[in-house]
Amino acid sequence: MKTITAKWAMLLAVVLLVSGVLAACGGSNQAADGKVTISFLHWRGEDTQAFQQIIADFEKQNPNIKVDMQTLTSDQYQTTAQAKLTDGSVGDVFASFPGAQFAALSKAGLFTDLSSESFVKNYNASLIDAGKQDGKQLALPYQLVYNQPIYNKAIFAKYNLTPPKDWDGFLKLCQTLKDNGIIPIAFAGGDIGPGQLMNTMVMNNEPSEDIFTKVEAGQAKLTDEFWVKTLSQFKELNDKGFFQPNSLGTKDAAAGALFIQGKAAMLASGSYQLTQNAKQNPELQQGLLAPITVAADQAKYEGVHTSTFMLAVNSRSKHPEEAKKFLAYLSQPEVAAQYANATGQNVTLNDVKYDSPELKIVQEWADKKTIFQPRFTILKAENQKAVTNSIQAVLGGATPEQAAQDAQAIIDQQVGK
């Protein structure tokens, strides 16, 4: 018995010793040769390869700086990044989601003010507002996404259809598609659908950038005309059979499959899906459109954009200058082009040259009048959920008035908190 105890004690001692050594190794980010290691924390695991190349090039130009990239899944990032960033040990340069996460990190004082940095000028000023607070540029949205339906150009051409300019035209277009046995809109009602399509559906019903900010502040209500009308239009699309049957049980991947296979003419998602669709069906000719829910002369916006993957310098960083240097490098148009072409993601910088047809489709939208994604202006996730759930409620059979009232009741509980 004594022998076993001694062995276990020895094992424990070894484990403790090894842990101690490893902990000691992890504690320092300044090597003896003066080389500084900065940490780059983000959630885009799929972009790792592209970033590795960019980092290698950066390190070649800056031999005294080493960039240690760490990625988390987007879910993990939402849940654990804050804690990691708070002690400053990781994420000298980090990415933030716009909306709720940006608000929380900003409240915690984790952003360094970048307003006076020269590289900010490389960005399209109209696309980086999401990273601003109180007039300060705290983060630089790097990726650009248009949150509006994708359409199949070949199907549209076959039936002589063009993206309509008003609501009547949109309904007529859907009816033509339906009459020809095509699902007009593949709608992932079970997950991302309501949160995506609501943006273009509401953008002209209440053409204001802060309508949901007002709703959260108690100055406007979901029972007001703009939202009841939006819900009524969702109901109209559903009742007329313009979504695939039982759309509330359909998830993102299944809705995508209907579009990729040519069974549906439109996919209610966003431009981020273009490259993936093209990979799965290289024959697909895609375009972006937005349902205009009002008469043509009343439409203020043509589409919805989101600038996300907001890059920032951690205010707790021990190496802020090196971190800024890396961010400045990422903010060069050539580097951004390298990133965009390698990942299939559009960027918010000016003068970026895109290679792929999908990226060019998105680029066409840069000159159009678009609004920042209204859903992301809802800062409380619980309120966001109440809003998207009201769409699910009408698709499930509730009246628009009742659904709006139920959602407003939840928001009322949040007002002032």
Partner 1 sequence: MINRKILWLFMLPGIVLYTGLFVYPALSGLFYSFTNWDGVSPSYDFVGISNYKESFDSIIFRKAFLNNIKFMIVVVVIQTIVSLVLALILAKNSKTSVFFRALYFFPAILSSVSVGLIWSFIYDPSIGLINTGLQHAGLEQLAKSWTGDAKIALYSIAFVQIWAHAGQMMIIFIAGLQAIPGELVEAARIDGATRLQVFRKITWPLLAPSAAIVISYTTIQSFKAFDLIFVMTDGGPNYATEILTTYIYHLAFSNYSFGLASAGSMIFLILLGILTFFQFRALRRDGATG
Q: Which residues bind partner 1 (CB under 8 A)?
A: 78-79, 82-83, 86, 100, 104-105, 107-108, 110, 189-191, 244-251, 254, 257-258, 380-382, 385, 389-390, 392-393, 395-396, 398, 409-410, 413
Q: Nearest CA to 169 among 301, 296, 303, 300? A: 296
Nearest CA-CA partner of 64 in 111, 109, 31, 113: 31
Q: For residues 202 and 264, which CB has a smaller minimum distance to partner 1 in the complex? A: 264
Q: Which is nearer to partner 1, 11 or 125 (CB)?
A: 11
List the 264-267 sheet strands across, edge first.
183-186, 264-267, 150-152, 286-288
Nearer to partner 1, 165 or 385 (CB): 385
Q: Minimum distance from CB of 388 to partner 1 (Å)? A: 8
Nearest to 252 by CA among 205, 197, 210, 192: 192
Q: Which is nearer to partner 1, 328 or 398 (CB)?
A: 398
Closest distance of CB 101 from partner 1, Å: 8
The minimum distance between CB 300 and partner 1, in angstroms, equals 30
**Rounded-to-integer distance, Cα 306 and Cα 127, Å:** 8
Least distance (Å) from partner 1 to the CB of residue 234?
A: 13
Q: What's the closest the beta carbon of residue 5 comes to partner 1, in angstroms? A: 9
**For partner 1, the closer CB: 146 or 243:** 243
- Asked if 233 and 204 count as a contact pair (C-beta separation under 8 A), the reply is no
Which two three-digit tokens encode residue 205? 């019903």
> Could you tell me the smallest distance in angstroms from the CB atom of residue 79 to partner 1?
4
Exposure letters 171-183 (e unless 16+ CB within 10 A, then b): bebbebbbeeebb
Give residues with Cβ within 8 angstroms of 148, minimum separation 6. Answer: 199, 200, 270, 271, 288, 289, 290, 303, 304
In the complex, least distance from residue 298 CB atom to partner 1, rounded to whole angstroms: 30
Least CB distance from residue 251 to partner 1, whole Å? 6
To partner 1, the closest distance from the beta carbon of 309 in angstroms equals 19
Question: Which lies closer to partner 1 via its Cβ, residue 126 or residue 414?
Answer: 414
Please provide the size of the chain in residues.
417
Which residue, 277 or 346, is less far from partner 1 as judged by CB?
277
Written as one string, the DSSP assignment of 151-183 is EEHHHHHHTT----SSHHHHHHHHHHHHHTT-E
Residue placing its CB nearer to partner 1 in the complex, 30 or 79: 79
The residue among 244 and 306 lying less far from partner 1, judged by its C-beta, is 244
For every residue of 306-356, DSSP letters joined together read: EEEEEEEEBTT-S-HHHHHHHHHHHTSHHHHHHHHHHHT-EESBSSPPP-S
Short-list 261, 269, 303, CA closest to 188: 269
Of 377, 370, 375, 381, give the one whose Cα is nearest residue 144: 370
Find how far residue 352's CA is from the centre of its chain: 20
